């Protein structure tokens, strides 16, 4: 599913009118109907308060009020009088007045106090106030209205986007409606998926309003769904053997952080690779072997201080000849003694490589080690590592996560997975995917190592680098969502996420097949 800016959505609406003859009145009618249907589903909600602004967002609210006023107690609160409305919103406000539907202008004296009283009796509040067109801080008049909505005990349903959230960046324009649910029309807007806006959105529903499907594709931004990634799940033929599903070479570990490599190794095996080499300093080998019985552990030459010596590269070169993917970083440490090994892998190994953790920190300090690399590369930074890659602070990354992901992908000619809420996958071309699986319980040590192992497993099974990044991030987050149902977010461990990777595979494949867009795991299309 495409994700768009406010300007792109307006362009799509105009194309629907210009090229297909679908008028703005028709689009507003359809939007209002979808809104009314969502309200009807809340059967016990009788008293509905609709707060409508001057634009098309308010017009959507008028349409919903018209379809509901004979079924529920609907009151409409406007921010202007009828002559101040235009186009389809004007037409629908006119109809509302002729039908005698209760409405009041919030500019009138005492209207805000009356709205406060109405909110106390409301079962549901509909925020149809500002929409996606806001480009500056909320004005004091609207600020007062939004503050009232946020003090209401009734749930709030926002129309298209919570009022006060920037549709492009997710930034809050001084104040925003805290919605319990948002119904957005046509396509999701970027600001609904980027924090802090995503935190104001509540449950997000995308409603079809009759825009031709041909206009709803072609964006450089997409939202990852089971339908979108299900076809990437590797096929498992009945006559397969372990060599069919590829071999991963995983490099990392240290005396201080042997567990990181073990987590990545377990995730890679759970992710479906046929064989896994866990290469680690000699002094750590027995620890990793004891934690991951299914892995083949490779002892690497180490210095007296326990860090990899450059001679380790000779061992790795021999091993990657029989592998299909390499991952470097979990538990590695940032010691400069390791740099020749990392540089050698990047310059000489022509397999797809995943870099995580301290491999990213070494790359940030020595970006020249990527010179001349042509094989696929996936970088998986968290915000702090991303800040080091861009020589800035973490706050700057978080202020513009989308821009940061694009910049890293461009500078390092790599596929970037910027971890966090929500994770962003970006290609060097600038194409972006947003992932909304995952939860705050995954903000714990080791979850990034799990993702690294899963990505490497998908690459080893023949999934291309972009597809592996998208599918891996989606499955990783979904496994966390499944695990958190039983542990709760505070108690979730990275090892819990590993245990639910298999269930994440099954659920994704099931949804993908049920929606008629692909085959389930273990089935092959004859097309």
Residue 515: band (very low, low, confident or very high) from pLDDT cuts 50, 70, 90: confident
Pairwise CA distance, residues 487 & 297, whole Å: 31
Helix then strand then coil, % of the chain, to nearest 5: 50, 15, 35
Pairwise CA distance, residues 24 & 58, whole Å: 14
Dihedral sign, Cα of residue 413, residue 415, residue 420, residue 422: positive
Nearest CA to 27 out of 60, 51, 2, 53 is that of: 60
Pairwise CA distance, residues 385 & 372, whole Å: 23
Pairwise CA distance, residues 165 & 188, whole Å: 13
Residue 519: band (very low, low, confident or very high) from pLDDT cuts 50, 70, 90: very low
Structure token digits, residue 94 = 């006119």
Mind listing the pLDDT tens digit for each residue in 132-152?
989 899 999 999 999 999 999
**pLDDT exceeds 80 at position 520:** no
Nearest CA to 364 out of 307, 410, 424, 411 is that of: 411
Q: 10 Å Cβ neighbour count for 150? A: 17
Structure token digits, residue 206 = 């995308």
Please give the span between the terminal C-alpha atoms of the chain, in angstroms, as a whole number: 24
pLDDT at 517: 44
User: What is the secondary structure of 374-389 as a DSSP string?
Assistant: -S-EEE---HHHHHHH
**pLDDT exceeds 70 at position 375:** yes
**How would you label 350-371 residue by residue, b for 16+ Cβ within 10 Å and e otherwise?**
ebbbbbbbbbbbbbbeeeebbe
pLDDT at 512: 85
User: What is the secondary structure of 392-453 as a DSSP string?
Assistant: S-HHHHHHTHHHHHHHHHHHTTSEEEE-SSS-EEE-TT--EEE-----GGG-STTHHHHHHH
**pLDDT exceeds 80 at position 206:** yes
Mind listing the pLDDT tens digit for each residue in 286-306?
999 999 999 999 999 999 888
Question: What is the mean pLDDT of the segment spanning 443-455?
Answer: 98
Q: Residues with Cβ < 8 Å from 57, sequence gap 6 or more?
A: 128, 129, 130, 131, 132, 159, 160, 163
The reply to whether the predicted model has a pTM over 0.85 is yes
- The structural domains of the chain, ordered by start, are 27-219 (3.40.50.10260), 241-514 (3.40.1190.20)
**pLDDT exceeds 50 at position 8:** yes
Please answer whether residues 442 and 497 qualify as being in contact, where contact means their C-beta atoms are separated by less than 8 angstroms: yes
* Mean pLDDT of the residues in the chain: 95
Residue 522: band (very low, low, confident or very high) from pLDDT cuts 50, 70, 90: very low
**pLDDT exceeds 90 at position 182:** yes
Residue 518: band (very low, low, confident or very high) from pLDDT cuts 50, 70, 90: very low
Please answer whether residues 125 and 49 qualify as being in contact, where contact means their C-beta atoms are separated by less than 8 angstroms: yes
Q: 10 Å Cβ neighbour count for 310? A: 15
Establish how many alpha carbons lie within 13 A of residue 389's alpha carbon, considering only the half-sphere containing its beta carbon: 31
Helix (H, G, I), strand (E, B) or coil at 326: strand
Question: What is the mean pLDDT of the segment spanning 168-189?
Answer: 97
pLDDT above 90 coverage of the chain, percent: 95
**pLDDT exceeds 60 at position 516:** no
Mind listing the pLDDT tens digit for each residue in 218-261?
999 999 999 999 999 999 999 999 999 999 999 999 999 999 99
């Amino acid at each position: 599913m495409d994700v768009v800016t406010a300007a792109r959505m307006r362009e799509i609406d105009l194309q629907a009118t210009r090229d297909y003859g679908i008028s703005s009145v028709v689009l507003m009618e359809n939007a209002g109907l979808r809104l009314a249907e969502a309200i009807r589903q809340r059967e016990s909600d009788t008293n509905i308060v609709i707060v409508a602004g001057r634009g098309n967002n308010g017009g959507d609210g008028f349409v919903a009020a018209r379809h509901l006023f004979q079924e529920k107690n609907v009151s409409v609160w406007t921010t202007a009088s009828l002559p101040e409305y235009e186009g389809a919103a004007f037409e629908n406000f006119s109809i509302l007045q002729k039908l005698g539907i209760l409405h009041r202008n919030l500019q009138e004296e005492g209207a805000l106090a009356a709205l406060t009283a109405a909110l106390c009796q409301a079962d549901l509040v509909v925020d149809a106030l500002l929409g996606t067109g806001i480009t500056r801080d909320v004005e004091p008049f609207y600020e007062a209205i939004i503050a009232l909505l946020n003090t209401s005990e009734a749930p709030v349903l926002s129309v298209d986007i919570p009022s006060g959230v920037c549709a492009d960046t997710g930034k809050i324009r001084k104040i925003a409606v805290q919605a319990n649910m948002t119904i957005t029309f046509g396509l999701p807007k970027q600001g609904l998926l980027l924090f802090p806006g995503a935190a104001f959105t509540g449950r997000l529903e995308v409603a079809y309003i009759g825009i031709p499907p041909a206009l709803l594709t072609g964006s450089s931004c997409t939202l990852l769904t089971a339908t979108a990634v299900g076809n990437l799940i590797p096929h498992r033929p009945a006559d397969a053997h372990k060599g069919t599903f590829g071999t991963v070479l995983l490099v990392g570990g240290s005396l201080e952080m042997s567990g990181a490599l073990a987590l990545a190794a377990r995730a890679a095996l759970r992710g479906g690779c046929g064989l896994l080499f866990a290469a680690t300093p000699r002094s750590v080998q027995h620890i990793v072997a004891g934690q991951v019985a299914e892995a083949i552990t490779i002892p690497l030459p180490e210095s007296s201080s326990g860090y990899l010596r450059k001679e380790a590269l000779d061992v790795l070169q021999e091993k990657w000849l029989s592998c299909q993917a390499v991952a470097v970083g979990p538990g590695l440490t940032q010691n400069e003694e390791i740099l020749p090994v990392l540089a050698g892998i990047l310059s000489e190994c022509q397999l797809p490589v995943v870099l995580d953790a301290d491999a990213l920190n070494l790359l940030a300090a020595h970006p020249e080690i990527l010179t001349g690399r042509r094989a696929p590369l996936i970088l998986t930074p968290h915000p702090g590592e991303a800040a080091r890659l861009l020589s800035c602070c973490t706050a700057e990354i978080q202020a513009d996560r989308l821009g940061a992901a694009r910049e890293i992908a461009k500078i390092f000619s790599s596929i970037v997975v910027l971890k966090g809420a929500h994770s962003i996958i970006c290609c060097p071309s600038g194409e972006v995917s947003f992932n909304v699986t995952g939860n705050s319980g995954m903000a714990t040590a080791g979850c990034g190592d799990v993702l690294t192992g899963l990505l490497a497993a998908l690459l080893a099974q023949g999934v291309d680098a972009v597809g592996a990044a998208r599918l891996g991030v989606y499955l990783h987050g979904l496994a966390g969502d499944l695990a958190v149902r039983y542990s709760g977010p505070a108690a979730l461990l990275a090892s819990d996420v590993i245990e639910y990777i298999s269930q994440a595979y099954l659920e994704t494949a099931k949804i993908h097949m049920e929606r008629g867009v692909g085959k389930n795991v273990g089935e092959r299309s004859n097309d």
